[in-house]
Structure formats: structure tokens, C-alpha cells
Amino acid sequence: MRGVHTPCYDALVIGGGPGGSCAANLLAQQGLKVVVFEKEVFPRFHIGESLLPYNRGIFEELGVLDALAKAGFPRKTGAQFHLGNGSAGTRFQFRQGRFNRETEIFQVERARFDEILLRQAAKAGAEVHEGWTAGRIEADSDPITLEVKDPAGTLHTFRGRFLVDASGRGNLSGNQQGLRIMHPRLKKLAIYAHFTGVELDPGEAGGDTVIYRLENQWFWIIPISAEKTSVGLVTDRDAFQQSRARPEEAFQAAVRSSPDLARRLAGARRLGELEVTADFSYANRTFASPRVIRVGDAAAFIDPIFSSGVFLAMHSARLAAQAIVQAHRQGTDGLAQFRRYERRMRAALAQYSRMVELYYTHPFIELFLQPRGRLDIPSAVNAMLAGELQGGWKVRWRLNLFYWMVRLQRRIGFVPHLSHAPVVPQPETTPAVG
């Protein structure tokens, strides 16, 4: 059975995650006729729970800031990075970053967060279909046609002047056109679950994202509600496959290798199965074509170490909505606006990709975990961790200097060298009795 929907929409949106609901909300606010297709029925589990302070302005534009503040999500005012053996560590407190205009945000349980955002898109005027799966896209025609399967399995054809692909790592339009290019080196795999009873820091720091860097892998600890904490391991995909370890074994072995991590998880209880996700870090060859624009993970995805995914998804959705509104008003296919969108999005991605690639090198870790106040480089790094994309030259030159120091750290040793070797406890010295 097949249904053709005769009204032609201004925009068809695939996916009701942060990227899709943000684009749909902003387009509807501008009076465009928008429909969203989301294959799941919300609330549903999703990974990606640590947000960046610069998400805040977008929440205000969407009209969800109050609802998020009332939802009781933990406050995130900083991010901590530690070496697994406990020999070094640092806390970036956003309010201490000299260039940060935004200094705090929430950690979220995505099931609730995504639902709040999607419901708000509907309130703004978007038509939302949950449990509807988008399929074949016919983008050569005007209007575009999109095949969508409803929950009963019936196929429908929808027509729209523009299409926003926000299908996340499902990468619907990119895969249909063979555009996805995997990152050549960052072949990682994540093993994660929600826990209760994880030991968090007292006070404000208890809302931080806490990262433990082991030799070739790292852990995140993200409190997402009063009871739940998200804990995950990111490891080398090939090494994991060669080890033939089960996810549970790899996870536990990594926990045991870090006394601090073992302590934090000693009284913790897992709340569900361990999830495994592989094949992140990719970009599509293009982010747009006439009438079609890809946002969030459906454009590109970078390793989650700096918690940039949701912020970049919403930032790109906001830029995409602006581009569509302009094209809609001018009556064009949007390509000129979409090219500008792609340039801006690639520039934002490049800022994080550069830091992510360096994160996997030892000299970066040495400098990153031992920040020095000279020239206020830590403030520039702090700005990146907060999501400051418009910091301008004062942030850029400091970051460039930092990256240059990373390259020379091995030879020059700007800060003491660090080791991943287990720290041997020193015998307690007995004070001399005189």
C-alpha cells in the first residue's frame, strides 16, 4: 500500500535528534511548513550526554532553556582530565576561562533531553511523526520526494522544497550517495552503560565530565541525573578485535588498570546491558547539494573526547535553518547559501578535529594535563572545551602556539614528562623523632 501526500512542505526533516529538532523548530518559527520523520518513538536511549556551555544560546532560541532547567539535570561547570595511574590531572572550570562568554550547562539523559527538544519543535509548529522511517530520497526533482514507512509498514511519499538530513550516524543521504569517508586513523570503539552509585566529587565538581586517559584508551564519567552516571570506555577498534575479549572483559580490565577509576566504580551497579558502538569519526564528501543539506552527525562525526557532538549538531542545524530560510525567501535551490554553510561547518569541525587528533598523542597529554598560566594558553583551551567558535585571533594564536608546543614537547620538554606506568606507592616516611 502506498500513500502520496499532496501538500508540498517547505522542508522535510529526517531525524528528531538534537540536529533535526533544532532545525525543525527554527524553520517553523520562521513560518515554514515543516515535517519531521523520526524512526524511533521518544523517549528512547541515545548516547552523547555531556553538553558544552555554548549550547545555552541555542536553547534560548529554541525556547527550551526553562524546561531543561526544570528537568533537574546536573549542572556542568567544568571538565576534568586525569591520567589513569593518578599521577597527573587537571580541572578546566569554565568560569575561569578568560575568553568564555558562557560558563555552565547541563549534563543530560538523552532520552529526556531529546524528547523535550522534539516536543518543543512540535510546539513551534513543526509536524512530527515518530516511528516513521525515511528511506529513498529523490533529490533531482523540485520538489524533492522522500519515501517514508509508517509504523504499520505502509509506504508514503512526501514532497518538500528542501530536505534536512539529520539522521545522525545513520547518515541516510550520505550513504545513498556513497559520500561517507571514514577517518583513516581514528578507528575507535566505545563500550558504555549507565550506572548508579558511581563515586563523584563533592560539591560543584560532582557535575563535571571526568575523563581518565589510559595508555591507548580512555574513560568518560558523566553524571546525568541524581541517580545515574554514564560510564564509557573508548578503545582502539583493531586492538579490541584482535584481543578477542568480550566487551565486559575489556571494560573491566580497563577499570582495574586505573586505581582511581576502580575506586570511583567500586560501589557502582550497572543499570542495563553494556552497549557497543564502533565506526565513529567520518565526514561526508559534501554536506549539501541543491535543496539538500546535512546537519550534525549526518554531515560529519568526530571522536567524542571533547563532548562536541550535540553542540556541533545544533550549531550546524541553526546555520542550516538560516540558509534554508534565505533560499526560501529568494526562491532559489539554496546552493549558494548551502556552500557558505558548508564552509562554516567545516571550519567549526576543523577546530575540534585538530585537538582530537592531538589528544591521541602523548606530548599533547603531557601539556594538556599540566597547564601553565604563561600567555594564558589554558584559557584558549578552556574556550574550545566550552564551545567558543567565535573567539577570534586572541584564542586562535594561543591554540596555534599550544599545538606548536605539543609538536616540540618531546624534544624540548616544556613540562615534565609523564608515564602511564603504575605508580608504586611510596613507603610512608616516619618523621624523625629528635
Ligand X SMILES: Cc1cc2nc3c(=O)[nH]c(=O)nc-3n(C[C@H](O)[C@H](O)[C@H](O)COP(=O)(O)OP(=O)(O)OC[C@H]3O[C@@H](n4cnc5c(N)ncnc54)[C@H](O)[C@@H]3O)c2cc1C
**Which of the stretches 38-46, 87-95, 261-269, 407-415 binds ligand X when contact is defined by CB under 6 A?**
38-46
Per CB under 6 A, the list member of 84, 97, 160, 168 interacting with ligand X is 168
State the angle between helix axes of 335-359 and 309-330 in degrees (0 to 180), rounded to the nearest 10.
170
Tell whether residue 102 is a contact of ligand X (CB under 6 A).
no
Tell whether residue 300 is a contact of ligand X (CB under 6 A).
no
Closest approach, Cβ 230 to ligand X, in A, equals 8
Q: CB nearer to ligand X: give 85 or 235.
A: 235
Closest approach, Cβ 161 to ligand X, in A, equals 19
Q: CB nearer to ligand X: give 134 or 395.
A: 134
* Neighbouring residues of 393: CB distance < 8 A, sequence distance ≥ 6: none
Tell whether residue 376 is a contact of ligand X (CB under 6 A).
no
CA dihedral 224, 319, 396, 416 (to 10 degrees): 20
Tell whether residue 212 is a contact of ligand X (CB under 6 A).
no
Per CB under 6 A, the list member of 97, 143, 170, 371 interacting with ligand X is 170
Binding mask 226-265 for ligand X (x = CB under 6 A): ------x---------------------------------
Beta bridge partners of residue 36, listed in sequence order: 13, 128
Q: CB nearer to ligand X: give 189 or 377.
A: 189
Tell whether residue 50 is a contact of ligand X (CB under 6 A).
yes
Residue at grid coordinates 563535571: 208
Beta bridge partners of residue 9, listed in sequence order: 160
Q: CB nearer to ligand X: give 287 or 405.
A: 287
Tell whether residue 297 is a contact of ligand X (CB under 6 A).
yes
What residues between 318 and 337 interact with ligand X by CB under 6 A?
A: none
Tell whether residue 16 is a contact of ligand X (CB under 6 A).
yes
Q: CB nearer to ligand X: give 297 or 388.
A: 297
- Concatenated DSSP letters for 62-104? HT-HHHHHHTTPPEE-EEEEEETTSS-EEEEEGGG-TT-S---
Cβ 219 vs Cβ 305: under 8 Å: no
The three-class DSSP label of residue 235 is: strand
**How far is Cα 232 from Cα 264, in angstroms, rounded to an integer?**
13
Tell whether residue 351 is a contact of ligand X (CB under 6 A).
no
Per CB under 6 A, the list member of 54, 94, 240, 280 interacting with ligand X is 280
Per CB under 6 A, the list member of 8, 30, 33, 47 interacting with ligand X is 47
Q: What single-letter amino acid sits at 256?
A: R
Q: CB nearer to ligand X: give 211 or 399.
A: 211
**How far is Cα 231 from Cα 223, in angstroms, rounded to an integer?**
9
**Which of the stretches 45-53, 89-97, 261-269, 368-376 binds ligand X when contact is defined by CB under 6 A?**
45-53
Closest approach, Cβ 283 to ligand X, in A, equals 13
Q: What single-letter amino acid sits at 356?
A: V
Tell whether residue 20 is a contact of ligand X (CB under 6 A).
yes
Closest approach, Cβ 28 to ligand X, in A, equals 17
Tell whether residue 133 is a contact of ligand X (CB under 6 A).
yes
**How far is Cα 274 from Cα 344, in angstroms, rounded to an integer?**
36
Tell whether residue 39 is a contact of ligand X (CB under 6 A).
yes
Per CB under 6 A, the list member of 97, 309, 387, 391 interacting with ligand X is 309
Tell whether residue 46 is a contact of ligand X (CB under 6 A).
yes
Cβ 305 vs Cβ 359: under 8 Å: yes
Nearest one of 240, 17, 231 to 107, comparing CA atoms: 231
User: How many residues form the binding site for ligand X (CB under 6 A)?
Assistant: 39
- Concatenated DSSP letters for 168-215? GGG-HHHHHTT-EEE-SS--EEEEEEEEES----SGGGGGSEEEEE-S
Tell whether residue 313 is a contact of ligand X (CB under 6 A).
yes
Tell whether residue 49 is a contact of ligand X (CB under 6 A).
yes
- Return the beta strands (E) in 214-329 as ranges: 218-223, 228-236, 269-270, 275-278, 282-284, 288-289, 292-294, 300-301
**Which of the stretches 70-78, 137-145, 168-176, 253-261 binds ligand X when contact is defined by CB under 6 A?**
168-176
**How far is Cα 211 from Cα 36, in angstroms, rounded to an integer?**
35
The three-class DSSP label of residue 115 is: helix
Q: CB nearer to ligand X: give 313 or 327.
A: 313
The three-class DSSP label of residue 363 is: helix
Residues that bind ligand X (CB under 6 A): 14-20, 37-40, 46-51, 133-134, 166-170, 172, 190, 232, 277, 280, 296-298, 304, 307-311, 313
